[in-house]
Amino acid sequence: MPELPEVETVMRGLRARLQGRVIVRAEVHRADLRWKLPHGLAARLTGARVEGFRRRGKYILMRLEGGVSVLLHLGMSGRIVIGRAQPNVTPPHEHLTLATDDGWRAGFVDPRRFGSVDLIATAREDSHKLLAGLGPEPLDDGFTAAVLSAALIGRSTPIKAALLDQRTVAGLGNIYVCEALFRARVGPRRLAHSVAGARAARLVPAIKATLAEAIAAGGSSLRDYVQPDGELGYFQHAWKVYGHEGEPCERCPGPPACAGIRRIVQSSRSTFYCPRTQR
Ligand SMILES: [Zn+2]
């Protein structure tokens, strides 16, 4: 499932290809995604100039001239495929296709159809029902240890679950939460309200650094998707704990001195962590 860095990378790829262009053709091939696509979407997009892009949490906002924004969520497995325009060719599971005045196309491909597309007035983006309840952007300067601690007061869920809750902080998913907790040396089962003081002071920069490194890795993949048939947003990245059950972490000697990275299940999702150094 795409998390904040993947979505950021998709947004940057779309910006590189679409910003300033006019959408000369928009086609909806299938309207029943997670929710029904807005009525008249293709007509609203056709002829519109793309003014810019913004990301909020795991959502992409494409701003069109005339004060309308397209809200895009990739869902579980959605992706954007960029290529040279090929009239009359629609790849499988491509539900929305945009063709630009400079001969390129961007397609939204989503086999599982958990993704969503909506229209909203640009001036009211943040009041959209999917955005209104989101917590702070983790990479904003306003997301500080004090802000995180305040959001965790009185919460007796594990810190892992609290960070996955988009109301605490926007855009984090399972992988990056595991990685950030490892980096901050905070145990994933620790109760959220007890993450304050020094732990919160370690956790916030750990979240920012984890995301920033992944975004940098995504950025270096940009060169791949300015080529025809490039796919945005998924890139190779080296996780420190995620998927490394039983292996030594970078801080530990590994077996036999310690048992290495452990996997547990929390909220029916796998958590990977170092039981020796995360407390
Ligand atoms: Zn370790």
pLDDT value at position 92?
A: 84
How many A from CA of 80 to the centre of ligand 1?
Answer: 37
Pairing assessment for the beta strands 230-232 and 116-121 based on DSSP bridges: unpaired
Q: What is the pLDDT of residues 76-120, one digit of tens each?
A: 888 888 888 777 778 888 899 999 999 999 999 888 888 899 999
Confidence of residue 225 (pLDDT cuts 50, 70, 90): very low
Known catalytic residues are 2-3, 58, 269
> Cα separation of 149 and 105, whole Å?
44
Preceding amide of 256 cis, omega within 30? yes
How many A from CA of 158 to the centre of ligand 1?
Answer: 20
How many A from CA of 248 to the centre of ligand 1?
Answer: 6
Residue 224 clears pLDDT 80, i.e. is over it: no
CA distances from 256 to 72, 240, 245, 252, 253 (A): 48, 20, 15, 11, 8
How many A from CA of 214 to the centre of ligand 1?
Answer: 21
Specify the higher pLDDT residue, 237 or 103.
103
| DSSP at 158 | B
Mean pLDDT for all residues in the chain: 91
Q: What is the pLDDT of residues 138-161, one digit of tens each?
A: 999 999 999 999 999 999 999 999
Tokens encoding 21? 């262009």
Specify the higher pLDDT residue, 221 or 22.
22
Question: In sequence order, which residues have a C-beta less than 8 Å from that of residue 251 and are 6 or more positions away?
Answer: 274, 276, 277
How many A from CA of 246 to the centre of ligand 1?
Answer: 10
For ligand 1, a single-atom ion, the residues with CB < 5 A are 249, 251-252, 274, 276-277
How many A from CA of 173 to the centre of ligand 1?
Answer: 22
